[in-house]
Amino acid sequence: MCGILAIYHYQGDVQAFRPHALQLSKKLRHRGPDWSGCVVKGNNVFCHERLAIVGVDSGAQPLTSVDETLVLCVNGEIYNHKALEQSLQTPAAFKTHSDCEVIMHLYREAGVDTVKQLDGMFSFVLYDATQDRLIAARDPVGITTLYRGYDSRHPDTVYFASELKALSEDCDRIEAFPPGHVFDSATGQTTRYYEPAWFDPQVIPTAPVDYARLRGSLVQAVNKRLMSEVPYGVLLSGGLDSSLIASIAVRETAKRAREAAAAGSPAPVEAGGADQVVRRLHSFSVGLPGSPDLAAAAQVAKFLGTAHHSFTFTPQEGHDALQDVIYHLETYDVTTVRASTPMYLLSRKVKATGVKMVLSGEGSDEIFGGYLYFHYAPSADDLHRETLTRVKNLHTSDCLRANKSTMAWGLEARVPFLDRDFLEVAMSVDPQTKLCDAEHMEKYIIRRAFDAEQLKEDGETDTTPYLPDSILWRQKEQFSDGVGYSWIDSLRDLAEVKVSDAEFTDRATRWPEDTPSTKEAYYYRHLFELSFPQPACAQSVVRWIPRTDWGCSDDPSGRAQKIHSAAYKAPPQ
């Protein structure tokens, strides 16, 4: 992934503005430390900060067509780029080996509908000088980040950027660009292009569980995300989701190495580099000393045979990073800040090892009703609608966390559970099968799909267990809990010290909109305002509110739910 900045129809001397645009783009350099580029076309400016993963030797952006009439800035990965290149009706001259260049050539044939053909995670801005036309789009779920801004003094100018911080200085209105949408300046409209059948909350799916199809779809989702010319690894918390992704990645990486050996060729570069394949896949975990996640991750790593890196941090180190974490996250949502801080610290350690891309397990809990509060869903229909809401809003929470916590250090995170094809399979299943009861724990069907007994029932030739039963059937731990139960406790204690009773009592005066309900939430809002004092910056923030109407605790921690095996003895104050 990378960082992009585009200014469409700048009102003024665009060449005089160019140095300022470069300074705005520089605010995104943590996302793309490998190279920077800037193209001015007419009164439009396009800047790019590159993290090189595919097409390392030739994929610098902004990309331009041979005739210089098209300019393209992309943040993301297009996994089906080779198939798309072969599908082009008119032979095209490619200038790079980038997986993103095909977007320009598709545009010449399909126009705005190009975005419907892309399989990947992406945000892009494409400019057609022959029509003075700009198209901007974001991937179906919002794995990548994209913001749009406006300056009321120049209403005809539109800004786009990967992060809020590149717009806060110039724009007095900022919004998150909606996932699954495309903007076309020719019509001035932003329209939804991603409309799967399961997106309708009024339609409750009825398909029975096909365990072989569910399993095969996830394996394929992991496999396509191994597209890389640089060393990669897996983030391994020791929970079900990351452990499954790690297990599949180990198998698929080994399979690629065997196929290469059988063909008499060196291990393919795209499988992570010859050295990495010959050795072992790298896995990474983080937690407080003695945390549940560290112990579980070590067990999984030993079982899978990964080259495992286990890192610890102290509550004080986490507290010291909060200001930087919130600056990079661009949110003050309590759940997101709690979970992002350990991920932010881990990402710095991962990048130091030379790994530039990691696989991660985000999305499974939203798809399968994995959070412990789903135990209290009143009905299957209610559970389905809640999973649908959570998937649609992932761009405000877990996708935002995974993207910005890692990209703060120029590390790319890929999330197989949010694969477009896998979502089609998993979200079309009868939600009755996702309900929790005495015999079916949370995320039962995805656990069952990878259980050794199910592999035998499905007639798989390889019935080797993907994971130990103790991991496959481990109770859900939210990341902010699993890194160590005292982590969240320490944050509450910190907020008690940092926020006085008088300040908290007067909170609605300071923030009449989106007023924080706890001292912890107050403290994060305060830190956010230190980095982003402009009123426009808070407009894009979305906070997750627990389902108290289901009888759940109003604290977003999984440990706050009484179903948790290490639940709080009393509701948190």
Helices (H), 10-80: 14-26
How many Cβ atoms sit within 10 Å of the Cβ of residue 397? 22
Asked if 229 and 270 count as a contact pair (C-beta separation under 8 A), the reply is: yes
Q: What is the DSSP letter of 475?
A: P
What is the predicted pLDDT for the residue at 103? 98
What is the predicted pLDDT for the residue at 556? 61
Residue 70 in 3-state DSSP?
strand
Q: Which residues of the chain, if any, have pLDDT below 50? A: 269-278, 560, 567-573
Helices (H), 353-443: 364-368, 380-392, 398-407, 420-426
Contacts of 149 (CB under 8 A, 6+ apart): 158, 159, 160, 161, 167, 170, 171, 173, 174, 175, 536
Q: Which of 2, 436, 537, 552 is catalytic?
A: 2
Q: What is the DSSP letter of 225?
A: T
What is the predicted pLDDT for the residue at 553? 73
Query: Cα separation of 437 and 454, whole Å?
Result: 20
Beta-bridge partner residues of 136: 125, 183
Domain architecture of the chain: domains with CATH: 3-195 (3.60.20.10), 211-560 (3.40.50.620)
Contacts of 553 (CB under 8 A, 6+ apart): 546, 560, 561, 562, 568, 571, 572
Which pair of tokens denotes residue 33? 């430390």
Which pair of tokens denotes residue 230? 């640089």
Query: Cα separation of 278 and 280, whole Å?
Result: 6
Q: Give, in order, the Cα–Cα distances in Å from 228 to each of 192, 232, 303, 420.
A: 30, 8, 25, 19
Closest CA to 239 of 444, 419, 479, 443: 479
Residue 399 annotated to the active site: no
End-to-end CA separation in angstroms for the chain: 40
pTM of the model: 0.93
- Quick: pLDDT tens for 361-407: 999 999 999 998 999 999 999 999 999 999 999 999 999 999 999 99
**Residues comprising the binding site for L-glutamine?**
99
| Burial of residue 502 (number of CB atoms within 10 Å: 0-12, 13-18, 19+) | exposed
Q: Give, in order, the Cα–Cα distances in Å from 472 to each of 190, 241, 451.
A: 42, 9, 8
- Quick: pLDDT tens for 476-510: 665 556 687 889 999 999 999 999 999 999 999 99
Query: Cα separation of 291 and 314, whole Å?
Result: 11
Residue with tokens 């300022």: 20
**Residues comprising the binding site?**
99, 235, 286, 360-361
What is the predicted pLDDT for the residue at 32? 95
Give residue 238's region: left, alpha or beta (phi > 0; psi -120 to 50).
left
Q: Give, in order, the Cα–Cα distances in Å from 113 to each of 74, 92, 116, 183.
A: 17, 18, 6, 11
How many Cβ atoms sit within 10 Å of the Cβ of residue 113? 12
**Residues comprising the binding site for ATP?**
235, 286, 360-361
